[in-house]
Amino acid sequence: MESLGPFIPLILLFVLFYFLLIRPQQKQQKKRQEMLKSLNKGDRVITIGGIHGVIKEIDDTTISLRVADNLNLKFARASVDRVIEEENE
């Protein structure tokens, strides 16, 4: 049992590291995956490049965004950063 003494602080450090860094990152990644799965036609989104647009077409890997009149851009589905919630006034 005496041989484990020096390793206890190291084990506690790994446990702390897991709960402060790894677990929150996993939760954030899961939330992002759920957001990407729930994208629908007509959603207003912002891409990771900062482009605002409305989803016109969507499939498993790509989306087509209308960013201006007569201007549609095609992106990888993973390039969506967030969905803009509609403000009710």
pLDDT digits (tens), the chain, 89 positions = 568 788 899 999 999 999 999 999 999 999 999 999 999 999 999 999 999 999 999 999 999 999 999 999 999 999 999 999 876 54
Name the DSSP class of 85.
P
Please give the pLDDT value at position 64: 97
CATH class assigned to 40-89: mainly beta
Name the DSSP class of 61.
S
Q: Would you list the domain boundaries of the chain?
A: 1-38, 40-89
Mapping DSSP to helix (H, G, I), strand (E, B) and coil, where does residue 32 land?
Answer: helix
- Does residue 63 contact residue 75 with C-beta atoms inside 8 Å? yes
- Does residue 64 contact residue 56 with C-beta atoms inside 8 Å? yes
Please give the pLDDT value at position 89: 43
Please give the pLDDT value at position 85: 87
